[in-house]
Amino acid sequence: MRKLLFILMTLTVTNFSYASFPVTASNAEILNTIASEDTEEDETSLLEAILMGVLVVSILGFASYFLIKAWWRAWRDEVKWVRILTYVTLGIVSLMLLLGGICSIVKGGCVYNMQ
């Protein structure tokens, strides 16, 4: 309780300290000079973009491999919560696919327009 009260007091003091002084002058000139100084373009090259994509895909691939491996091992060992969660997930995914298919078949979609 003491820690919660201390956190609330700290947040209150922080908010008051930001609003406790008036802003009288316009800082448009300072902002314009700061904005004009940054003319350097920081675009990534094609090689960097490809390398970042390969890195992200490889990290996600390794993570999904170990996750699927652990999930399959728990499925074979008949862990109850894994089986329940698998059935719930498959049910939600199949329901979403079914509703998406129905909404794509209907002429106006599944959105009701109140005009």
Residue 94 and residue 109: Cα distance in Å, rounded?
19
Among residues 101, 99, 80, the alpha carbon closest in space to that of 91 is found at 99
Domain boundaries, the chain: 63-115
What pLDDT score does 31 carry?
57
* Contact residues for 86 (Cβ-Cβ < 8 A; gap 6+): 71, 75
What pLDDT score does 61 carry?
96
> Is the Cβ–Cβ distance between 75 and 82 less than 8 Å?
yes
- pLDDT 10s per residue in the chain (115 long)? 778 777 777 777 655 555 555 666 665 555 555 555 555 567 788 999 999 999 999 999 999 999 999 999 999 999 999 999 999 999 999 999 998 888 888 776 776 655 5
| pTM (whole model) above 0.75 | no
